[in-house]
A and B are shown apart, each in its own frame.
Chain A
Amino acid sequence: MKEEKKSGGVPVAIIVGVLVLVVLGGVLLYRSSATPSPNTAKPANASPQPQATISTQNAPPGATPPNAVGPTTASVIIEEFADFQCGSCGASYPVLRDIIKAYSGNPNFRFVYRNFPLQMHDKAYDAAVAAEAAGLQNPAKFWLMEEQLFTNQATWSINQNYRDIFVEYAQKIGLDVDKFKADMSGMQAKTRVDQDMSRGKALAISSTPTVIVNNKIIPYAEVTLAGMKRIIDAEMQKSTATQQAPPQQAAPASSGVNSNAGNK
């Protein structure tokens, strides 16, 4: 039988050397890439990131009436394109919910939710249909179903019996379950989802959540409570200044989203 050869400390030295390199590399990588959490740490007066402007003039209106909070005459209109199975949308949900609560009742504030289920999320389309089916019974129930879907995302998104889970949510929020099931299978809720998706595609939405404030796409890192408040307040101030300025100096702050306000 062959004896194992003694090769001194060379292999041990190599192993220890690689371990040291890995630990050092990991620490350096951690230090270079560690950034504050976007939903908590960015100060309210931080410099905003550039916001891309989009034109909504030729885009289809999406589901009409939309799932919206606030009057169509509002000067600040937020439109969110989201996917119930997207983890980042789930992470943004509490922020946008708090924003809606903070500005609820403000005549210059309107929030519109648009379905944009991504193809790679196998249950996202059905989840959007479930939310719309809830909204068909009562528009307020859409928001309750939205809450269920986002707050329990980790549960249903990995369960093959997710449709049964949606029915449980329907029961929980007080829906007529038989009608909910029928609407899940029917065309009306699906058509509304498809209409929202058509609008999103026309606007070249490529990721979720995409949050648009008065025609400006807000970078995801800015979708924080402080960041959104700063943006909304600035838009409201801009609108107020425009209204107070002499007519010859007044210029429309935006056109597309606001011009479509009647559709939202």
Chain B
Amino acid sequence: MNSQVETAGESRGRWIAFAAAFVAVLGLADAVYLTVHHYTATPVPCSIFEGCETVLTSLYAEFAGIPTAAFGALAYFVAFSLAILAAYENRTAWKLFGVQVVIMAAVTCWLIYLQAFVIGAFCQFCLLSAITTFLLLLLFAISKVKRAQF
């Protein structure tokens, strides 16, 4: 096969991977913001109108002394790196990306459950992170359905 000729499947795969990298950067920015907030934020009163502080000051805001958001930032950075490598035609990277986003989606489901049924409050920044994770999962699913090549 002539490596200079890009097939339709390869082109599709490349753009899906770039889109995934872009979404991962959004998630990364959100997670970095939440991590910094964890260390610097001045406590604010609990508001009638929204529960972000309730979530961010809950027992689940940390795991083993490390902010939960920091794990998210690491996960998004790895997802971004794998997506970029896949965009430059590393097929193994896309497979690893798929495994990772499935794990991230599972963890996200658990975090949504905690907000809804344990903490009893939602944080918009955490929900934004959930959206970006599910978008990554969606992009990976699209790549499989459309038989995108890497």
Which A residues lie at the B interface, using CB under 8 A?
Answer: 2, 4-5, 7, 10-11, 14-15, 18-19, 22, 25-26, 29-30, 33-35, 37-39, 83, 86-89, 91, 118-123, 154, 158, 206-210, 220-221
Contacts and interface: CB of A to CB of B under 8 A. Distances in A.
Nearest to A83: B46
Interface in B19-77: 25, 28-29, 32-33, 35-37, 39-49, 51, 53-54, 57-59, 73, 77
Nearest to B49: A206
Interface string B114-126: 0000111100000
Contacts of A14: 84
Nearest to A26: B32
Interface in B102-150: 118-121, 149
B4 to A, nearest CB: 11
Nearest to A15: B81
A221 B42 contact: yes
B16 interface: no
Interface of B: 1, 3, 25, 28-29, 32-33, 35-37, 39-49, 51, 53-54, 57-59, 73, 77, 80-81, 84-85, 87-92, 118-121, 149
A206 B44 CA distance: 12
Given A18-B80, A207-B47, A208-B46, A26 B35 contact: yes
Contacts of A121: 46, 54, 120-121
Contacts of A89: 46
Contacts of A123: 120
A15 B84 contact: yes
Contacts of B85: 11, 15
Nearest to A90: B57
9 contacts: A7-B88, A7-B89, A11-B84, A22-B32, A26-B32, A30-B39, A34-B39, A35-B42, A86-B46
A216 B42 CA distance: 22
Given A33-B37, A220-B43, A4 B90 contact: yes
B89 A206 contact: no
Contact of A38 (B36, B42, B90): B42
Given A26-B35, A86-B46, A88-B57, 5 more contacts: A33-B41, A34-B39, A34-B40, A38-B42, A120-B46
B45 A120 contact: no
Contact of A18 (B25, B45, B92): B25
A14 B46 CA distance: 41
